Amino acid sequence: MEFQVEIGTESSVIKVVSDREWMQDTERVYPIVIDPMTETSKTKGNIEDTYVFTGGNVPENPGNVYAYGSFVVGRSDELGKMRALLRFRDLPDIGKGSIIYGATMYIWQFEYSSYSNPELPLLAYEVKNSWDEKSVRWGNQPAVDGAILDYKKVKQVINGNTVSITPIGFNVTRLVRQWYNTGKNYGIMVKSKYEDDENLANRAYARFYASDSPSISSEQFPSGVFYYRNVNGLEDYQSYHEQSAGRAGIGYTNDFTGNVVWSHLDVATEGGPMTTEIRHVYNSSEADTSSRMGYGWRLSSQQELKESGIKDYPYVYADVKSISKSLKKRGSGSKMEP
């Protein structure tokens, strides 16, 4: 596998190019995920999901308790403007030094209602402060950032007696990366683009399953799917600033993460067809990890295989170059592949 960078005037593109022979192997199972992914816990205790509304024919009051079974986004004559609030209390552990490069939040639609508009654009926003799903109302709803994270169009999902339960995914990569970096996670808000439009043609709403719905499996609970990569080691596709200290060794500072790797040569053999060397290597991402060489230190000859706790990537391989490289389970047997 290699990375190709195409530099543009305003943006650049990174292409991940896999080995053709490996891709065309008859044992290959598609789709292929190059890097590990993880998903938020689909337990009711980990998911906060509800909606707030202005009150149309049914004015908002303390008797209108928090959403049960479903939440709604859009506008209706009965409830007025409706906005959804979603949050995952605990995020998956992706390990120190990992970078989120893809994150999608999914909700499952099972109803659509409109006067005449076949599609309704929904907008996702970052929530800026805390809220409680049981007590939040339109009048005390949390503030949101003005920038739109992503938008998706929803449409009719019922045809006769058939309901096509449809996943709607919002790209929230930037926000999820921020959650991991700061530890502050207040979730997202989803609302209609046309909620302030008085034109009846644009008055529509969509209904989604909530995590306390008694009629569905947990597979249709709101969820987040995150793709990430550990960048603690020394890799050819990353850039570093080098600091030489003569016999003491060489330091490498990752230009993106600031992680520091220090390499000190202990001994090296010269001549012959099988030369080798042994180094003491320090990695700041392991500064709290004790070893026989000291906190954060490894020998270049060390290799380690340990459990990750992630279902589809059950093991992690580590050496001084790649501190954490996930291994994907292939098929039902015991074979693993990077």
In the chain (338 residues long), the average pLDDT of successive 10-residue segments reads: 59 65 74 70 91 72 59 92 95 83 94 93 98 90 96 93 92 95 96 94 94 87 88 78 92 87 88 82 84 85 70 65 53 48
Largest separation between any pair of C-alpha atoms in the chain: 88
Q: What is the pLDDT of residue 321?
A: 62
173, containing H or E segment: helix 173-182
pTM: 0.71
Q: Assess contact for 261 and 298: CB atoms under 8 A.
A: no
Q: Which residue has the tokens 């929230």?
A: 172
Q: Assess contact for 31 and 72: CB atoms under 8 A.
A: no
Q: Assess contact for 258 and 128: CB atoms under 8 A.
A: no
Sign of CA dihedral 64, 70, 75, 81: positive
Q: What is the pLDDT of residue 197?
A: 93
Q: What is the pLDDT of residue 336?
A: 45
Main-chain phi, psi angles of 331, to 5 degrees: 70, -160
Q: What is the pLDDT of residue 184?
A: 96
